Structure 1
């Protein structure tokens, strides 16, 4: 689904979302409430300009519209892999984007992420995954690391990783697997405006991260919540 179709299903004609060099910004209205919209499209690789543009819009929203909910629309192939961006310090630009989202949350803004097309690696980690909760459309393509790259990093054969991915969501891409791991809070089907309305119903401001707990409940990450709890309590009996 492209962003225009998505916006029509979410808000009808009641929005002024615009695209500028694959960055989406604007304002929409749902049930009489203004919502700040920011995100990406065209499977863009997030570079220094892309990260800075999104962060700037979020900071402007915090300054000019205190408490206004923010919806982050995610469609990215990940971090831009160019020498220029690396030399300019893309890691700091992406950290700036992530910290801007955290500042919005701490300032009382409800922040919702929605993967509507593709979400890969660093471009996803510093946008949708920084939200209070990240949701996805069922057909969205989500992965932080592809199996070929994972094989190179872990030195485990791609065939073995493909085999593991059949039964373990940690090794497998896709919205359903990220739902099982708790990285995605829910899949939006049917009435998308109703899904957004429900997501916005949560409390604004800093919230407890429930992803490891959801992963345990859904069977996608069985140990993360227990290990985190044991570390937090200085318990040395955490499972190996």
Structure 2
């Protein structure tokens, strides 16, 4: 689905800016929802991260429990000299923390992937929401295999072989769903608003349950147990 098709399926007041960012409100299955997003494969730099953060903070300032829908089709973070010198990492972290704060303040946050997204831009937007769903054809990746090869010093052939049995080494929607990062893939043949509405009904949980979701999906069989053990040891030390 395209962004126009997604927005046309909702009763909305949203205008997309020239740089691909957008914010506004929509009525989804009778509920008012604040909407922000990145479209057209836009890269997320300092300016974009701070603008999106401001939209989230405005929702929090208004109070109540208005849900936030984050629609994403982005490039990666903008790795320009200007953005790096201005503290791109801090601005992306600020955006992620704003979305997490919204969840803690009672605003259910739902990410919707419909195109591409990668690296820091992916982490600071869609992965920072409480629930993340996707449409078929979305191509998310925290790190592609060539980048993974440069970091790990392992050959791409070896990583490709490892990816066949270990979802952590394999980019893409199917593998991110196995790992618990993506809660579900939606059906574009069914009304989109009704499918999104069910995720807004899920109450925000202060605990991050993606490790348990990854275990149930078969992509991260031991992460939940390790995290629980670390938690227990930390409480014991404290």
Q: TM-score range by the shorter chain?
A: over 0.9
Provide the rounded CA distance (Å) in 2 between the counterparts of 1:99 and 1:210.
17
Provide the rounded CA distance (Å) in 2 between the counterparts of 1:41 and 1:133.
19
- 1:80-159 superposed matches below 5 A: 80-159=78-157
- Conserved in 1, the CA contact under 8 Å of 2:110 and 2:200? yes
Alpha-carbon offset, residue 65 of structure 1? 5.1
Alpha-carbon offset, residue 100 of structure 1? 1.1
- Conserved in 2, the CA contact under 8 Å of 1:132 and 1:207? no
Provide the rounded CA distance (Å) in 1 between the counterparts of 2:137 and 2:222.
28
Between Structure 1 and Structure 2, how many residues are aligned? Answer: 231
TM-score of the two chains, using structure 1 as the length reference? 0.92
> 4+ residue runs of structure 1 moved beyond 4 angstroms?
none
Partner of 1:226: 225
Provide the rounded CA distance (Å) in 1 between the counterparts of 2:29 and 2:151.
48
Alpha-carbon offset, residue 207 of structure 1? 2.9
Partner of 2:163: 165
- Conserved in 2, the CA contact under 8 Å of 1:137 and 1:175? no
TM-score of the two chains, using structure 2 as the length reference? 0.93
Structure 1, gaps ≥5 residues long: 236-240
Partner of 2:200: 200
- C-alpha distance after superposition, 1:77-97 (max 9, x if no partner): 111110000001111111111
Partner of 1:5: 5
Residue 16 in structure 1 maps to residue 25 in structure 2:
no
Provide the rounded CA distance (Å) in 1 between the counterparts of 2:177 and 2:95.
24
- C-alpha distance after superposition, 1:144-197 (max 9, x if no partner): 001001001001101111111122211111111111110001111132222101
